[in-house]
Structure 1
Amino acid sequence: MPLKIITLNVNGIRSAWRKGLADFLAREQADLVCLQETRVQHPQLTEEMRAPHLCQSFFHHATKPGYSGVAIYTRRAPDRVVEGLGWPDFDAEGRWLQVDYGKLSVVSLYLPSGSSSEARQQIKFGVMERLTPHLKQMLADGREWIICGDINIAHRNIDIKNWRGNQKNSGFLPEERAWLDVLFGDIGWVDAFRVVNQEAEQYTWWSNRGQAWARNVGWRIDYQIVSPGLRDTVLGARIHKDERFSDHAPLIMEYAIDLP
């Protein structure tokens, strides 16, 4: 059986639950589900939220209530769980959660957005700068990786509807796109979705303003990024748009991988 992994920015897990996320997860029966922007503290989770139709769940909350946070649901108990990267400012926002299975690691990552202010954009740039050597080292450590999450950057013109009008906006700045060029180029990481789908207008996020969803004025900012050794294991990808659980859509991918 293929390994099925879902990634989704829920923009508040309690809100997504009220919109039917639990039923969706029950139908999909994914092996792993990576969530971002859970915006919850552990006492606020219901029993079903802690393990919906899956055997185990892990949450890395932000220190600030109602903000950020990542989670992973899994059917198979991992060998190890890693919360954060050891960077106090980054980890306080609950942005990195990792589960290990043998030599395979799956990560739920929520890269900061810079859209709210110039100060937050500079924080985003700082995180990108610190991540670069870390991502290089990850590929040198002998493990295979699947990084799932909201990267808050659309890479190429085909990944955003209004590319001409957004070149000065956070999420499509030249510096951000160049960072992904390096990530998918010189460093060697693989945009798994583009291994199997090269079509335009494959969006995962739509603004809540200006009828963006109805007009399909979207951005592809949610990714599954794999180490080069997993490129040939990518079997398929789909963006689930039949229901809306948040302003993002679930990205569902399958791999020819057996968990150890």
Structure 2
Amino acid sequence: MNRFTVATFNVNGIRAARRRGFDDWLADRAPDIVALQELRCSAMDVGDFPGYAAALDVGSIPGRNGVALLTRTEPAAVRSWTTHPPKARGLAEFADHGRWVEVDLADRPLTVASLYLPKGGLPAHLQRAGSMREKPDGGAKHARKQRFFAAFGRELDRNRRAAVRAGRDYLLLGDLNVAHTRYDVTNWRTAGRMDGFLPEDRQWFDGVLGTRRLVDVVRLRHGDRPGPLTWWSWAGWSFGNDVGWRVDHQLATPGLAARAVSVAVDKEATPEQRRSDHAALLVTYRDD
């Protein structure tokens, strides 16, 4: 029975991640498909990935964002918001930010996307000067994320439907900057007043999922129990104490989700070995 492995990894700067051992990880793990987020450099500086074809959108903001999809064979089609502007009203302001790339695979009936969803912030009524790392902004970043949610939900639904009509499964990979359930964050009661676990964040995630839409593959395989986590702050003892969040996701159409056979998070053994503040999330699927 044929199987293929898919990884999603927010590298928090591909050049820094390579200095910390990303290339060794890639050669050792050898996933068939790899989604990357936060490349944070120009296309020229991304470099090559031996054994893979790379589809990129680095965006126009120097040193920020940037997404990629690595595949073993050249994809049949590549779409980014730079080359194929999004159709959903409200996404135009994000189109040149390097947040989205999508490919139709040439070697199996599957469309795959890599997303880096914008970070948000707290709504104005939850902001308190002196208790925040950043200066209060009156809820501007929160409003920006909510605008993205509303528009992207429509775009995602359109893309998923197009894939299904073409006889393809659909797989959304990436850093969604949302932890969906209480099992996806260590201190979930406290997190309920934090960006990424606000009621409106979780409600949006609810709307993306469904038995006829997309399935959270990790939760399906892992069950309703804590973890696995994929992000830990660089600060303090969060990594060593495993106090973190799962904001990195693989969301698949139901047929593909049902063929997931294993889930793994490549958390490094020690803080000194960390390649990013995120860890790679890998899922192995059966082919039909």
TM-score range, shorter chain: over 0.9
Shift of 1:214: 1.2
Query: Secondary structure of 1:210's partner?
Result: coil
8 Å contact kept, 1:11–1:36? yes
Structure of higher CA gyration radius: 2
Matched, 1:83 2:113: no
Bigger mean CA deviation after superposition, 233-242 or 13-22: 233-242
Please point out which of 159, 164, 171 is paired with 1:138: 159
Residue in 1 that maps onto 2:57:
60
Residue in 1 that maps onto 2:125:
none
Deviations 1:24-66 (A, max 9, x none): 0001111111000110102223xxx322x32311210120110
8 Å contact kept, 1:97–1:109? yes
Deviations 1:167-220 (A, max 9, x none): 111100000101111212376310011121123131000112231111111001
Give 1:41-60 correspondences, 5 Å limit. Answer: 41-45=42-46, 49-51=47-49, 53-60=50-57
Give 1:104-123 correspondences, 5 Å limit. Answer: 104-115=110-121, 118-123=139-144
8 Å contact kept, 1:95–1:109? yes
Count of aligned residue pairs for this structure pair: 254
Residue in 2 that maps onto 1:168:
193
Shift of 1:94: 0.5
> Cα RMSD (Å) of the superposition?
1.7
**For residues 178 and 221 of structure 2, what CA distance do their matches in structure 1 show?**
20
8 Å contact kept, 1:236–1:255? yes
TM-score by length of 2: 0.83
Identity, in percent, stands at: 35
Write the letter of the residue equivalent to 1:223.
Answer: H
Residue in 1 that maps onto 2:97:
93
Unaligned runs of 5+ residues in structure 2 are 122-133
Residue in 1 that maps onto 2:127:
none
Please point out which of 223, 231, 236 is paired with 2:257: 231
**For residues 161 and 114 of structure 2, what CA distance do their matches in structure 1 show?**
20
**For residues 236 and 9 of structure 2, what CA distance do their matches in structure 1 show?**
23
Residue in 2 that maps onto 1:183:
208
Residue in 2 that maps onto 1:4:
5
Q: CA 1:253–1:76 in 2, change beyond 3 Å: closer, same or farther? A: same
Q: CA 1:187–1:209 in 2, change beyond 3 Å: closer, same or farther? A: farther
**For residues 191 and 31 of structure 1, what CA distance do their matches in structure 2 show?**
20
